């Protein structure tokens, strides 16, 4: 299935039921992850928010329950910057199987200096990529126990113009925050594509799908107090940007479709329909540099060593 024209109709406002399913959303307490969790909660599934902050997770759950009648939502403490904590975080899920995980949580720094995780990794690469890489290892038994589980990795449109430096994955030689962020998201996307290759080779029932939110701005995102509050000034000021960009509620649509749509296949890339920046989700061609198996395999080996 190679284009949106060959997929069945999809209504982002009328999602299929997923009663009995269990979904984990990392970083589900804020931003795009919050809206992924809110939308998935409306399907009848149990949605687990992976969050570093119990207080923020509680606020997110209150917001979801206020908007989704009968929402089955709970939280587990999960810190992707601390690799040694991930096994116990997975054990605390307390489920027999997991139908999907959305690898959404992330760190984005705007200014120097370069920072490191507790494990000594550059914080954006270490959290956004290595944290999810290691988390998947611990989740795989739960994913394999489901009939047809999905690993959905949330990339970024910012990664489209980036290229990995395989000899400086952690920006030790030259550190520029925005570039390091884009490369960390590109590494995540390479992981998602390579993971599916390896799952297919192992004849696994688990599929790996990559998604990106396009251009998703806080100023175009509807309020969900106290999780997110959009002022009138921000809404009016962002009006021109709405011609090309969207809010984080719409930025969640590709990942939600990647979780729920039975027509979605492993190895695909899902993003917004209009220039890859806004609109309903579509299956888009995998970016040329993202399809390079040599780079993906090198990154995989390096990630194994680092974790």
Q: Round to whole Å and give the CA distance between 219 and 239.
A: 9
Q: Which of 34, 175, 181, 190 is catalytic?
A: 181
Question: Quick one: residue 165, left, alpha or beta (phi over 0 = left, psi -120 to 50 = alpha)?
Answer: beta
Q: Which structure tokens are listed for 304?
A: 């194994």
Q: Round to whole Å and give the CA distance between 158 and 74.
A: 31
Residues 6+ apart with CB under 8 A from 267: 193, 196, 197, 200, 207, 208, 209, 286
Residues 6+ apart with CB under 8 A from 33: 25, 26, 27, 49, 102, 104, 105, 154, 252
Q: Are 83 and 307 in contact (CB under 8 A)?
A: yes
Half-sphere exposure of 287 (CA within 13 A, CB side): 21
Helix (H/G/I), strand (E/B), else coil: 105: coil
Confirm whether 190 is a catalytic residue. no
Q: Are 157 and 277 in contact (CB under 8 A)?
A: yes
Helix, strand, coil fractions of the chain, as percent rounded to 5: 45, 15, 40
Residues 6+ apart with CB under 8 A from 228: 30, 31, 34, 218, 221, 248
Q: Round to whole Å and give the CA distance between 224 and 206.
A: 33
Residue positions counted in the chain:
307
Residues assigned a catalytic role: 181
């Amino acid at each position: 299935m190679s284009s949106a024209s060959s997929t069945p109709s999809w209504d982002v406002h009328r999602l299929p039921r997923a009663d009995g399913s269990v979904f984990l959303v990392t970083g589900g307490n804020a931003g795009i992850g919050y809206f992924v969790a809110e939308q998935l909660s409306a399907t009848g599934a149990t949605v687990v928010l992976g969050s570093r902050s119990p207080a923020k997770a509680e606020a997110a759950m209150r917001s979801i329950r206020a908007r989704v009648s009968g929402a089955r939502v709970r939280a587990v403490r999960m810190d992707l910057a601390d690799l040694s904590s991930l096994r116990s975080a997975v054990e605390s899920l307390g489920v027999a199987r997991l139908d999907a995980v959305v690898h959404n949580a992330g760190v984005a720094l705007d200014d120097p200096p370069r920072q490191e995780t507790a494990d000594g990794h550059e914080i954006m690469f270490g959290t956004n990529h290595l944290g999810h890489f290691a988390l998947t290892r611990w989740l795989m038994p739960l994913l394999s126990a489901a009939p047809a589980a999905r690993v959905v990795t949330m990339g970024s449109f910012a990664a489209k113009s980036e290229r990995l430096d395989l000899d400086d994955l952690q920006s030790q030689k030259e550190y520029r925050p925005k570039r390091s962020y884009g490369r960390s998201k590109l590494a995540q996307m390479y992981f998602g594509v390579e993971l599916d290759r390896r799952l297919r080779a192992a004849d696994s029932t688990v599929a790996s799908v990559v998604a990106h939110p396009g251009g998703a701005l806080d100023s175009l995102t509807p309020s969900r107090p106290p999780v997110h509050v959009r002022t009138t000034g921000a809404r009016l000021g962002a009006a021109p940007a709405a011609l090309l960009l969207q809010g984080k509620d719409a930025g969640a649509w590709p990942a939600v479709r990647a979780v729920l749509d039975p027509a979605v296949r492993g190895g695909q890339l899902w993003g917004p329909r209009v220039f890859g920046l806004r609109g309903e989700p579509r299956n888009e061609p995998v970016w040329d540099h993202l399809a390079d198996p040599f780079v993906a395999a090198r990154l995989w080996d390096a990630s194994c060593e680092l974790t």
